[in-house]
Structure 1
Amino acid sequence: MSYWTPDPQAVEQLQLILNGTVSGSQSIIAEATEALTQARQQPDFENYLLHILLSNNGTDSQIRASAGLTLKNSIMLKEFAEKPDSVKHHILNEILKGLVDSDSLVRNITGNVVTSLFSLFGVKGWPQVLVQLLDLASSEGQEKAQEGAINALAKICEDSSVDLDKSYNGETPSEFIVPRLLQLMNSPIPRVRAKSVTCINLFLLIKSSAIMSRLDEYMQKLFVLATDQDGSVRRSICTAFVDILDADQIKLQPHLDGVINYCLHSVNDQDEEVALEACEFLLGLSTSLLDESLLVKKLPQIIPTLLSKMAYSELDIFLIENQDAKDDATEADRDEDIKPQMAKSKNSNRATSSKKERDTSQLEDNNDSEDDSDDDDGSDLSEWNLRKCAAATLDVLATNFPQEVLDIVFPIVRERIMSPEWPVVEASLLALGAIADGCIDLAKPQLPELIPFFVEKLKAPQPRVRQITCWTLGRYAQWVCTEAGSGGRYGAYFLPTFQAIMTCALDNKKVVQESACSSLANFVEATDQSMITPLVEPLLYHFQQCFKTYQRKNLIILYDAVQTFVEKAGEMIQANEGYISLLLPPLIEKWQQFSDDDQDLWPLLECMSTVAASLGESFAQYAVPVYERAINILQTCVEQDQRCQTSELITPPEKDFIVTSIDLIDGLVQGLTTHSAELIKQFNSNERNLMHLLLICFEDSFDDVRQSAFALLGDLSIFLLNDIVKPYLHQVMICIDNEIKHRNYNSNAVCNNATWALGEISMRLSKEEITPYLPSFVSLLIPLLEASDMQSTVLENAAITIGRMGISSNEALAPYANDFINQWCKLMLYLEENEEKETSFIGMCRILSVDPRNLVISNRQAGLAGLTNFLRCVLYYESPSEELYRMFFTLLNGFSAYFGSEWNVIVSALDQQERDLLQARYNV
């Protein structure tokens, strides 16, 4: 029980202050905020806020809400932990009263306060609240109280489900929470039923034994509620089926037919959120590992339903037609037209490579710069919705069951695509684009007819038809370009298709420009050198026109298209001053228009990075001002970030400025190679030094910053190790060590770049220089080879790096050979043959040549198996350099002589074809 009593005068004064914080006057808000800061110094400040929040005596609702929000924020401050225990106990004892208040705003804010308190005190500090909330949610005759309690419990479960599933003194909260929630599914109050299902679903996501052991009971209750009249309940049920599919597919399998039928029915629900959740189940089903035959037999029902949901709704059409009437390519974009941009951090892994796709925006829930937005004024049309979910599901099904999908889709689409109604035509074009990746091989007989049809649709009067046609053509770019590049029967399709898309890229509607420009990038990427050569000059003139025409939003897409083009045609542009004079002036003009803190600069910095790297010495005349600005931006942001660590009054910098400035410097280093040393030294000083800034960035909490910083380190090590990196070698090695040591799943890309950079450094250091660091890195890299929480590219780079270390440190690494040879071979076997793979094999040959006994000294059987795997790697290395071939020859013949009769055992593990190849190539 709490005995605290407020001072009425203090309550009145605090109410006046809180009223000022919600005033429309900025000066009054500023005064009230200052007064609130002073009031915080009182030890029982939070008690007064709670009192006002719970004051159901005529106090204005907004003042009560402001008190609640201030209380929530105060609880989250570190100073709250230093408050007297009496204050904390009073709040914990009284706060639940707000859940029974008649004011819904007060109930909701109280729920947020309860959640914050629970995140602070947890199960150990506030165990009774869980039972209190469940009791309140179960109480009869207090509907508002029940709703408030279940809402608060749902927020706690959302934030703390993992903690609730842990054991405390032999008891696990989830084990008493879940059974009570199952009972609450019978509540007469719709919100209580819906939120109970939501809470259980949160435990399903973590596969809590509390629900997994009661899954049959849960599903039976879901089936009973399947026809519930309340939309929020039906939505939660569809979500439950999605989560059960993920948690235990086998349990769902006996009921699968009925659940699929239910979701197919629910996709047509008038409640759009129910329909979307039902479609999410179909999407999850399409990627599940359930018996394929169960899904195939339902495709005749699923696919027509998906196709019907890919058409714009009547409301969508109304909004779109209004937007398109206002869409004018000459009109400047507003700030709200521009989606928040995220800089794309550089990945410098070169073991394997993957180009970011540009053409999935109609299928994915993404907010990046390449989203083919269906909206120009911020409506929900550009968000993840039923249409996009249906298209994404069709895409996955087409990949998994191409023939079955094609057989169903084509007859339906052939009929609908001739409709006089443009939304029907548009949806049919979307469907054909959605199935492209999966069905393109099977659809080849139809493509000679479809491609000209698509090109004709680029002239359609409706902007959205032109828009989606550009997108769909981009999905078939590979076929069109392959036909032309290989001299195929339909090679003549390429040029008119390409020219038609170029025309659309200068459309008078921004939505068409955006889609066409993205599609153009797909075509450029799919072309070979012979096809792109005659197009270089026309494209350069085309891009010039685009730069003059495009507004802010589409410039982002244009920068990306220019990057793709320069990556493809960089060598041709390098060699032609006329091409350079067409490409660079528009970019430099934009570069000069933006201030250093303008977020529109981010995508331009990314573009300039690629241009600088691709043009090499041809970019030299622009290198000095470009580098100077990049290093200035980097220094300003790093220093601002350091200052904000010590003062809450300083606004933190946008980390994307750090990322993009580092990437631009990296592009200059890649392009100018060893000549970039002069550039870096020119601007290095006591006040500003590139390596000093990088060392700070290696410790940044933002993964993307570290990712780009380690990418730059790797390139500096390739070209400028002695001049720039070596003076800071010890600090650099510590930073790489820390990054690999503290890796986690979310830092995959960072660990990847750090490992790659270590390999580049290691192969260029002498034995004496690298020896002090070897024990630590060996202890990190060998386990990394088999890390289950890391992506394959990280493991591949770890293998490459171990091999490269052997170039100078073969004797030091030789005793560990038996510990890593098998996994090393597994990772290296099918890697692309390039300079990285070659140098790693050179190092490994040196390691193995030190003493063959190292392979078998600790575990003879594993060592001999490792040697067999190494032989297989050598045999599958199709085009080793002359140096590497000689090393292979010498090493294998040495092994044959050393192991004597055991050599036949080693070789016998190879198949006959491999043995013949071994004899033919290496005479062993």
Structure 2
Amino acid sequence: MAVEMSTAEFQPQADELAQVLELLKQSQISDTAVQREVQKKLEELKKIPTFSYYLLYVLTRMTNEQQVTRSLGGLILKNNIHAAWSTYTDEAKRYVKAECVHALDESNQMVRTTVDVVIASILSQESIHAWPDLVAKLLDQMHSDQDQVVVGAFSVVQKICEDSAFYQIEDREYALRTLMPALVELLLHQNTKVRLMCLQSVNFFLGIRSPFLDHFIDDRFLARLFNCMNDLEQSIHDCLCQALSLLCNLYFNKLTNYMPTVARYILHRTSDSVEHTALEACEFWLTLAEEPANCREVVRPYLAELIPVLVRRMRYSEQDLRNMKADLECDELIPDRAEDIQPRFRRSKQQQQQQQQQQQQDVNSMTNVDHNQPSDDQNSISNTNASVDASDHDDRTHNDNDNDDDDDDDSASGCDFSVDASSEWNVRKGAAATLDVLSNVFRDELLPHLLPILDGDLFQHDWLVKEAAILALGAVAEGCANGMAPHLPTLVPYLIGCLNDNKALVRSITCWTLSRYGHWILQFPNERHFEQLLKELLRRLLDVNKRVQEAACSAFATLEEEANFELVPYLNEVVQTLCAAFQKYQAKNLLILYDAVGTLAESIGTCLAKPELVDALMPPLMAKWNRTDDTERERYSLLECMASVVVALQDNFLPYCTSVFSRCVHLISCNVQTTPELVSGTMDLGSNSVVPTTQNNGTSTTEVGGQDFVIASLDLLSGMVETLGQQLITLVAHYNLVELVKRTSLDQSSEVRQSSFALVGDLARTCWPLVEPHVMYFLTVLGRNLEPQQVSVCNNAIWALGELAMKMGSSLLPHARTLCRPLVAILNRPHTSKTLLENAAITVGRFGVYCSTEVAPQLPDILLPWCLSMRNLRDNDEKESAFCGLCRMVIVNPEAVVPHFAYLCDAFASWSSPKSELKALVCSILYAFRQQMGEAAWQDCVGKFPSPMLERLQYLYGF
């Protein structure tokens, strides 16, 4: 019901006002029955148009009423405004706003705060530009000679400034234009609280890129701002450091002429005895380093002063040590509190896939087999800007997201300072992050300022000084890698010795720092640094201090990724240590231990499948699997770990399959809610919209934690099915997995659908008799998930379609043209993910194996992007089937090839060793074109090909 009535002469009725007041007073009674009645009455009153006016009247006009009652009326009004402002008439809106502006003169602090809340609620509903009376009133109060009035005005002004980033451009510029000049004037106000609130408001505005600010930020503005450098109030300096960081980020050119002043001030504040001020100063350096050229110019003159300050700030403070209970060296028997266990997130599947590709390359080099070299750039007649990827093509995305954010690092630079026990960002972490980013900007130029400090600090008797120096060594490991290399033959043995330091915090930071130099250590196997480091790290995994256990386990996981097969000679010791850790670790470190076991499996692959290693590792792992409750965070880490282990153990995992398989099915079933009519219904294959829609369709995971369990369980099942294949068909049938994945493939979560589609493809490949009766269902769902905006979902849907196509054979014919159409659109879509293009090309090619007559008419739109994508892939089964399908399309529609014949030949030349069937198809196509052209035209055509490409064609196909 619209709020409408004549407000010009609004006068409350005495009896109705009394009812409202009584209701407000009753709402302050804590009795549950009374509260229930109050809530019921409130719901009834909300339907009465005048109710909001009574609430407003109580708030703004009844000065003799108790402040709690007035404020309560305002809060209920705020809720009404938030829920129903759009139903208020224009006259009602004007009245409410006018009364709120009037109430800005309220002297009672509680009531005034409530008025501010109501104003904020209105501003969340409509434009600041449409409320000029409010701005005029605030400006008037900001210039009052009464400090209390000015401070009161800022409670609303700050809200406007904070929200301005979300305003429409016109409103944002209006707020800046009207408020910023007044704010600049007040930076010199005599009242400290006013200056602070003013600078805080300015900072909200400085986070906005604005045409007005481009003009407004001038010498006068900066002079007023720099005047705050001399302020005696500490919190002003916090805000000033923030202001300078914001200016550095968006308006650096405005600071150019004043950078010596700014840099000198920030350097001084980096040394500030107040930690949060020093931390804000570190944030300035981090912001500046985002533009390396600017950073070099500004910071170079101050490096000699800044580096020692940063190293000092990296020392633990006394408060840090108290918070961490650092004096407790032996704490392994103390159980972790639930709040100490931070959530762990899914690792990037892209990283895992890249690691598997590198692992395969390492296997090839170990066995002296040269597998599938890709065509060189010089062989190609393609655009020289085209991407050439020498890595194996992974046939699906799983949980990768092509536009994922960077890894969850603890610093702005990507250097993980989680070895600091504090979960909060502090000055120690800020200083370490600053040193890290500066090392990446200045590289080895930084070392002459750092190494003399470390030469002394590393050998200090004061363990806090020594610990910070070891942290500094780790911070520069990446940026100063070349310059540090000559010092590492001495430093690495010293650091390995520090792993036995009597202080746990020294041992833990040393684990981290050594992991940062793992790449260098592995370059010199004859020096035995790796063997010594591994031995000591394994000892530290079983340390009596939980923080050292955590650091050692994380460092070992990092070393695993670097070492890969270098670990194989030490696997017995490694596995024994990991098994001992299972018996020793508390809840938090168990999560990291699962990660280390999973990383080991990914790093060494089937080398872990030796019976003695399986017999040692699996009993403690399965004991945890069988004891862990399905609602615990530990279960999720176990699922991820087991997904890696099953791939490594291969058939040796079979004895454990039933327990793992059944638990995964149970986790999915418990955490997915189904809409039965959609699952059992029929769907239009021709629809291209994503399934499901948001209107109560499909399935949904019960909560975010449940969603994680579903995704991890699907990925584990997918790994089991892919690895063990037809050996699992009995389990798949017994637990009705195909029906379950039909449910999850309709989930509203794109991540759940993504993992579901990977499992669909694996089931199609290995358990086809169970999938075949449901093939039309899956074709429909997959066909309606070919939206390239959702890259990872689309990727897996495309891959699964390709697997279905290879199994369906000619029975795909009635649907091939419809399904192929969106794939062709993806192939021709600009700025599309490389992996998505490759998967689309493979699946289109696979459609051609059995349905070439249906797909060949689209060859003019397929051929060029197809060739450009496929030429970069290494030899594998997917590439072979796709090429066979394309060749059959070419045979059906050879005329479509003529404009892009050179690109087709380039794709043919990308093979290292095509199998006989494909080779015969290619030869027949080349021979047919040669015959059709005639010898002279043929020689003229191929004579334009690059020489390396011609040599490959001659070598592979005799042409």
TM-score calculated relative to the size of structure 2: 0.78
- In the alignment, does 2:206 pair up with 1:164? no
Shift of 1:513: 0.7
Question: Relative to structure 1, is the Cα distance of residues 214 and 607 closer, same or farther in structure 2, using a 3 angstrom cutoff?
Answer: same
2:481, 2:774 → 1: CA distance? 52
2:932, 2:255 → 1: CA distance? 59
Match for 1:854: what amino acid?
Answer: A
Shift of 1:758: 4.0
* Alpha carbons 1:811, 1:847 under 8 Å: kept: yes
1:875, 1:249 → 2: CA distance? 51
Question: Relative to structure 1, is the Cα distance of residues 618 and 459 closer, same or farther in structure 2, using a 3 angstrom cutoff?
Answer: same
Shift of 1:463: 1.4
Question: Relative to structure 1, is the Cα distance of residues 141 and 334 closer, same or farther in structure 2, using a 3 angstrom cutoff?
Answer: same
Shift of 1:596: 2.5
- In the alignment, does 2:814 pair up with 1:778? no
- 1:185 maps to 184
- 1:589 maps to 623
* Alpha carbons 2:827, 2:865 under 8 Å: kept: no
2:305, 2:342 → 1: CA distance? 33
Shift of 1:621: 3.1
1:401-412 to 2 correspondences below 5 Å: 401-412=442-453
Shift of 1:46: 5.5
Question: Relative to structure 1, is the Cα distance of residues 391 and 885 closer, same or farther in structure 2, using a 3 angstrom cutoff?
Answer: farther
Q: Which moved more, 1:909-918 or 1:608-617?
A: 909-918
Question: Relative to structure 1, is the Cα distance of residues 227 and 876 closer, same or farther in structure 2, using a 3 angstrom cutoff?
Answer: farther
- 1:631 maps to 665
- In the alignment, does 2:544 pair up with 1:508? yes
- Across the two proteins, how many residue pairs are aligned to each other? 872
1:913, 1:604 → 2: CA distance? 50
Output one character per residue of 1:28-81: Cα deviation in whole Å (capped at 9) or x when no partner: 46863674355233225656665666688587777777666665555555x776
Question: Relative to structure 1, is the Cα distance of residues 602 and 680 closer, same or farther in structure 2, using a 3 angstrom cutoff?
Answer: same
2:451, 2:814 → 1: CA distance? 65
- In the alignment, does 2:729 pair up with 1:708? no
Shift of 1:422: 1.9
- 1:532 maps to 567
- In the alignment, does 2:562 pair up with 1:563? no
Paired residue for 1:718, among 757, 765, 769?
765
- In the alignment, does 2:508 pair up with 1:467? yes
- 1:481 maps to 522
1:48-59 to 2 correspondences below 5 Å: none
- In the alignment, does 2:721 pair up with 1:669? yes
Match for 1:582: what amino acid?
Answer: A
1:758, 1:225 → 2: CA distance? 66
* Alpha carbons 1:345, 1:708 under 8 Å: kept: no
Paired residue for 1:384, among 425, 441, 445?
425
2:223, 2:802 → 1: CA distance? 57
Match for 1:515: what amino acid?
Answer: A
Q: Which runs of 5+ in 1 are unaligned?
A: 166-171, 376-380
1:791-870 to 2 correspondences below 5 Å: 792-810=834-852, 812-814=854-856, 816-817=858-859, 819=861, 823-824=865-866, 827-828=869-870, 830-831=872-873, 834-847=876-889, 850-855=892-897, 863=900, 867-868=902-903
1:90, 1:308 → 2: CA distance? 60
* Alpha carbons 1:359, 1:471 under 8 Å: kept: no
- 2:578 maps to 543
Output one character per residue of 1:193-236: Cα deviation in whole Å (capped at 9) or x when no partner: 323323323422xxx44444555579746754562625555545
Shift of 1:504: 1.0
* Alpha carbons 2:606, 2:650 under 8 Å: kept: no
- In the alignment, does 2:537 pair up with 1:494? no
1:5-404 to 2 correspondences below 5 Å: 5=12, 7-20=16-29, 28=31, 32=35, 35-36=38-39, 38-43=41-46, 72=78, 75-77=81-83, 91-95=96-100, 111-122=116-127, 127-128=131-132, 131=135, 135=139, 138-141=142-145, 143-144=147-148, 146-147=150-151, 149-156=153-160, 158-159=162-163, 161-165=165-169, 172-183=170-181, 184-187=183-186, 188=189, 189-204=194-209, 208-212=210-214, 214=216, 220=222, 224=226, 227=229, 229=231, 234-247=237-250, 259-270=262-273, 272-288=275-291, 290=293, 294=297, 297-298=300-301, 300-301=303-304, 304=307, 307-308=310-311, 310-320=313-323, 322-325=325-328, 328-343=331-346, 351=393, 363=411, 372=418, 374-375=420-421, 381-404=422-445
Question: Relative to structure 1, is the Cα distance of residues 639 and 248 closer, same or farther in structure 2, using a 3 angstrom cutoff?
Answer: same
1:116, 1:303 → 2: CA distance? 46
SS of residue paired to 2:208: helix
Shift of 1:151: 4.6
1:673, 1:481 → 2: CA distance? 36
Shift of 1:512: 0.8
Paired residue for 1:766, among 809, 824, 836?
809
SS of residue paired to 2:599: helix
* Alpha carbons 1:349, 1:793 under 8 Å: kept: no
* Alpha carbons 2:101, 2:134 under 8 Å: kept: no
Output one character per residue of 1:673-722: Cα deviation in whole Å (capped at 9) or x when no partner: 2333322321239xx9313321332x23xx44344333333433433355
Question: Relative to structure 1, is the Cα distance of residues 583 and 97 closer, same or farther in structure 2, using a 3 angstrom cutoff?
Answer: farther
* Alpha carbons 2:289, 2:295 under 8 Å: kept: no
1:210, 1:547 → 2: CA distance? 61
Question: Relative to structure 1, is the Cα distance of residues 844 and 36 closer, same or farther in structure 2, using a 3 angstrom cutoff?
Answer: same
Question: Relative to structure 1, is the Cα distance of residues 145 and 357 closer, same or farther in structure 2, using a 3 angstrom cutoff?
Answer: closer
* Alpha carbons 1:139, 1:146 under 8 Å: kept: yes
2:179, 2:236 → 1: CA distance? 14
Shift of 1:523: 1.9
Question: Relative to structure 1, is the Cα distance of residues 821 and 358 closer, same or farther in structure 2, using a 3 angstrom cutoff?
Answer: closer
What percent of counterpart residues are identical? 29
* Alpha carbons 1:359, 1:474 under 8 Å: kept: no
- 1:378 maps to none
Shift of 1:472: 1.0
* Alpha carbons 1:50, 1:68 under 8 Å: kept: yes
- In the alignment, does 2:426 pair up with 1:423? no
1:780, 1:209 → 2: CA distance? 43
Shift of 1:292: 7.6
Question: Relative to structure 1, is the Cα distance of residues 435 and 621 closer, same or farther in structure 2, using a 3 angstrom cutoff?
Answer: same
1:877, 1:562 → 2: CA distance? 37
1:218, 1:811 → 2: CA distance? 75
Question: Relative to structure 1, is the Cα distance of residues 593 and 163 closer, same or farther in structure 2, using a 3 angstrom cutoff?
Answer: same
1:895, 1:234 → 2: CA distance? 77
1:635, 1:759 → 2: CA distance? 27
Output one character per residue of 1:510-568: Cα deviation in whole Å (capped at 9) or x when no partner: 11111101111122222243x33332222222122111111111111011011112223
TM-score calculated relative to the size of structure 1: 0.81
Shift of 1:493: 1.6
- 1:689 maps to 739
2:245, 2:327 → 1: CA distance? 36
Shift of 1:140: 2.4
Shift of 1:339: 1.9
Match for 1:227: what amino acid?
Answer: M
Output one character per residue of 1:244-285: Cα deviation in whole Å (capped at 9) or x when no partner: 555466666565555444443443345544433432332233
Output one character per residue of 1:615-669: Cα deviation in whole Å (capped at 9) or x when no partner: 34333333333333322222222229999999xxx98563323333333333332
Higher RCO (C-alpha under 8 Å, 6+ residues apart): 2
